[in-house]
Amino acid sequence: MFHKLDEVELHYADVETRLTSPEVVNNTQLFQKLSKEHANLQPLVETYRHFRQVKNRFEENKTIIEQESGELKELAAEENKEFEIELKVLERKLKVLLLPKDPNDDKNTMVEIRPAAGGDEAGIFAGDLFKMYSKYAEKRGWQVELMEATPNDVGGYKEIILMIRGDKVYSVLKYESGVHRVQRVPKTETQGRIHTSTVTVAVLPEAEDVEVDINPNDLRIDVFRSSGPGGQSVNTTDSAVRITHNPSGLVVVCRDEKSQHKNKAKALKVLKTRLLDIAQREQHSKIAADRLSQVGTGDRSEKIRTYNFPQGRVTDHRIGVTLHKVNEFVGGDIDEMLTSLSAHYEAEALKQHSESA
């Protein structure tokens, strides 16, 4: 591992030098490419340098312990107890940083939220999850763009699609895909009974134009007048857009904007992102089982989390973590759970890596 880290540090120094050369500075595309590579390598190199510093002080203290006596020896021994713990933490961090990176981690993310089982209550909870992710994104300084929202008649939604843009959005939210179950007394319940409903969440990395090539001849584009709950007219022009991708059968509808042009652009972005997701899942299905065990099967029919309002708890079934703050959680305070999920899958990846090494 350390031989590889030495090579990475040398490469990092080379990139750093090249970034100051006139030929790179004057080449915008190359400068951006090297700057991104430098930023990606920086956490690993800085952690390795810190590890070396602690390791050197640890070795110096070992010499003092062997050659000295009295108070100086005791101080060195006490300090080395702390260094030993720090070295173990840093070594694990280095192993995590050396793991193969998910190429989608730096991408912006499309989140699709749809009610599943539970009728109107599922639609209401879909709206609650939309607010949860929006508030969390706001806390992180991310930008949220509503791509499509189809309301139902009771204040909920039949479908919500949002695009979240910011630093490493997909790496943070990618484990949210799956079935989210809610247990509570619905607003529509007159006898106070607890209902169980489910909502599906799909987290997809944003597709870039270079990744998905769509033949315009494969598209059928229809425009129509948008309508809201109960059938009332929302726009007086045919601004809503429906795009059908004939080869895959995918259909995307966007009606949130008053401009037909904007709705068409949004619909194409959603279509490209869904097509990229299909292509990546087909690719993943061909990868060996040890790789799949790191990220799960990707089957969104799996129940991943329960929001139990009567007991005030949120439980993630994949990692067995329960937080007793359901209202705060739905209010956007989800960082603790996301951090636990990330740590769990890092540990799984490390285990797989060590077994295959």
Tell me: the pLDDT tens digits for 45-57? 999 999 999 999 9
CA distance 281 to 273: 12
Beta strands in the chain, from DSSP E residues, in sequence order: 109-115, 143-151, 157-165, 178-184, 195-205, 219-224, 240-245, 250-254, 303-308, 313-316, 321-323
CA distance 240 to 309: 37
pLDDT (0 to 100) of residue 77: 92
Residue ranges of the chain assigned to CATH 3.30.70.1660? 109-347
pLDDT (0 to 100) of residue 357: 54
pLDDT (0 to 100) of residue 81: 93
- Average pLDDT for 136-161: 89
Name the token pair of 228. Answer: 């809201």
Tell me: the pLDDT tens digits for 268-288? 888 888 887 777 777 556 533
Judge whether 235 and 226 are in contact, CB under 8 Å. yes
pLDDT (0 to 100) of residue 97: 82
- Class of 109-347 per CATH? alpha beta
Which has more confidence, 298 or 156? 156
CA distance 356 to 302: 28
Which has more confidence, 314 or 278? 314
pLDDT (0 to 100) of residue 354: 64
Does position 107 have pLDDT exceeding 50, yes or no? yes
Which has more confidence, 272 or 89? 89
Which has more confidence, 356 or 117? 117
Which has more confidence, 193 or 134? 134
